[in-house]
Amino acid sequence: MIGVDGGARAAAPLGLTLHLIIGDFDTLRADEVDAFTAQGVRVARSPHEKDATDTELALLAACDEGASRVEILGALGASGGRSDHSLGTIALLAHPRARAVDCSLLDATSRIRLLTAPVRFASDAAAGAVISLIPWGGGATVSTERLRWPLQREQLHEGSTRGLSNVSLGSPFVEVHDGPLLLSEGPDPVDQMNEK
């Protein structure tokens, strides 16, 4: 388990044990870094001025350590309101090293992964969950099963929102015949309303 800069604070409340923290530590205080070190957590400090985000460096570290699955927790909400970091984190799914592992972004409302053709993906999304299919870096030819509005070898065009806000009928399948596709698996909208 790798903590990324100030995101390392979230580990203990989630019951997660870190073995590495990485970052330039612009959002994690020196005394917090010292506390992690005292707990036996390894520290990988990066320069503040660099050509990669702390999240990218953590992804590469996970791959270097032989991870077969990488879940980037708090990937979109932890950017401090910086849309450039959110977009960059989504773009990490297309990183060549990320494509070699089962990589996904997970936050409080959704899981996002990049599916690259040819692939047939079995989702565990419950009935009622919002499923969005977004072509990434070009169009994608897609078939689906167990979605309210199924697709059968249909082209989703880059820049179109046609694939947004479909609804799972329970454990749907998404098959990408051609092109890359972002798959966003969200919560049941009724569950979200009940939480408010």
Q: Is the same domain home to 57 and 85?
A: yes
Q: Is the same domain home to 71 and 116?
A: no
- Is residue 174 predicted with pLDDT exceeding 90? yes
Calculate helix-pair angle for 54-64, 83-91, nearest 10 degrees.
20
The model's pTM is 0.87
Q: What is the pLDDT of residues 129-162, one digit of tens each?
A: 999 999 999 999 999 999 999 999 999 999 999 9
Total domains present in the chain: 2
| CATH code, 34 | 3.40.50.10240
Q: What is the pLDDT of residues 65-97, one digit of tens each?
A: 999 999 998 877 655 677 888 899 999 999 999
pLDDT score at 196: 43
Q: Is the same domain home to 116 and 97?
A: no
**What type of residue is 76?**
L
Print the domain residue range for 189.
111-195
Q: Is the same domain home to 93 and 135?
A: no
pLDDT score at 188: 67
Q: What is the pLDDT of residues 8-49, one digit of tens each?
A: 998 999 999 999 999 999 999 999 999 999 999 999 999 999
The continuous run of DSSP H or E covering 79 comes out as none
Q: Is the same domain home to 25 and 120?
A: no
Among 106, 124, 149, the domain-final residue is: 106
> pLDDT-based confidence at 189, cuts 50/70/90?
low
Among 53, 82, 106, the domain-final residue is: 106
Q: In this predicted structure, which of 24-38, 50-64, 69-83, 110-124 has the lowest mean pLDDT?
A: 69-83
